[in-house]
Every structure is written in C-alpha cells, then in structure tokens.
Structure 1
Amino acid sequence: MVIFPIMIILSFMMYIYYKVMIIRDRDPLMQEIKNAKARIALGVFIGVFGVNQYLYYQTQLALFITLVFLFFGVVQGYGGIKRLSHYKGEFQKRAQTNQ
C-alpha cells in the first residue's frame, strides 16, 4: 500500500504550498481561494493519514482514531470545497465587472 504514503506527502506539500502562496498574494479574494484549496489539501491529508494508520496497526483503537481523522478530514475538505466554489463565483463576478 504505497499509494497512501504518496498521497499523504503530496497533500501535505500542497497544503504548505497554498499556505505560502497566501502570504505572497496581495489580493484578498485570491488569498481566500488559495486558503480554500489549502483546506481541501488538509482534509485529504488528515483523512488519508487516518486510513493509513488503520491499515498499519489494525486495532480497535486505531479504528476509532481513523474514524475521528476521517470525520475531521471530511469536514475540512467539504468546507474547503464550499468556500472554493463560493469565492470562484465571486472572482468571476469581479472579472466580468472589470471588463
């Protein structure tokens, strides 16, 4: 199961990338879009990390911890997707008014 460690590393790297890009951007709307993408990457990281831990240990305690991690991962991912769709709509509205 080498796919889970690869997904963990990639999602964590994407999270760090978007957080750094927030600092570099001056536009508040673009900062919000990048923050939403960072939340999605964090949700994937948390969820996949929990599943990976269960596959490694396979105990009842690991199952409980995995369920908690999956819950928080889904909450982060869902919140990020909702924010991303909202702010992309706002970005498109702003682009249309500037033309």
Structure 2
Amino acid sequence: MANLVFVFFIVISFVAYFYYKTKDFRSTLPIRKKWYKAKAGLALGIFVIVFGINTCIVYPSLVGFLIAAVFILIGAVKAYSSYKRVRHEGQYVKEEYELNK
C-alpha cells in the first residue's frame, strides 16, 4: 500500500516537472522564465526524494538503503536550492508582468 502512495507522488511530481518545464519554454518574460525553471527544479527535487524513499521500500537491503540515501540527499539539495529561487524570483513576477503589459 505504501508503495502505491509513493508511486502516486512520483507520477504527480513528474507531471508537475513537465508542466512547469513547458511553461518555461512558452514564457517570454525573463523573470517568469526563471521562476518556472525554479518551479520545475523543485518538482524534480521532490521526484528524486520520493523515488529514493520508494527505493527503501522496494529494496530493503543495505545496497538499497545506500542508493536511497544518495537519491534523497541529491533530491533534498535540488529541492532546497530551487525553493529558495522560487521564493526570490516569485516576488518579482507580478512586478515584471505589470511593467510589460
């Protein structure tokens, strides 16, 4: 049952990654483009974290735990740095939109 929950979150985060990556490609304003890229990075970080946790469930051995730890660490670093970028650039998105009407 827990495996299905993690698979659901893996699929949702993967879909969110492609959604924001598509918005990034279609956007013309530079700050909004960076904001969407950061949101895609956040979704990718969450994907890697959840994939690492799911690896612990599927492969409950020492090797599985080591691989999961690497995935969780890399995903946490990516998610944290992208979250900081989302917060920083998010405050300028509305201002940029108002200037470029």
TM over 0.5: yes
Q: Deviations over 1:48-93 (max 9, x none)?
A: 0011011011010010011100001101110111001110122345
Question: Which residues of structure 1 form unaligned runs of 5+?
Answer: none
Structure 1 segments, 4+ long, off by >3 Å, are: 92-96
Aligned pairs for 1:1-99 (under 5 A) are 1=2, 2-94=4-96, 98=99
Per the alignment, do residues 93 and 26 of structure 1 end up closer, same or farther by CA in structure 2, a change over 3 Å counting?
closer
Q: Give the share of equivalent positions with the same residue, in percent.
A: 32
SS of the equivalent of 1:58 reads coil
Asked whether the equivalents of residues 31 and 96 of structure 2 are also in contact (C-alpha less than 8 Å), the reply is no
| Counterpart amino acid of residue 34 in structure 1 | Y
Paired residue total: 97
Cα distance in 1, alignment partners of residues 64 and 80 from structure 2: 24
- Point out the more displaced range, 37-46 or 85-94: 85-94
The aligned amino acid for 1:43 is G
Shift of 1:30: 0.7
Q: SS of the counterpart of 1:26? A: coil
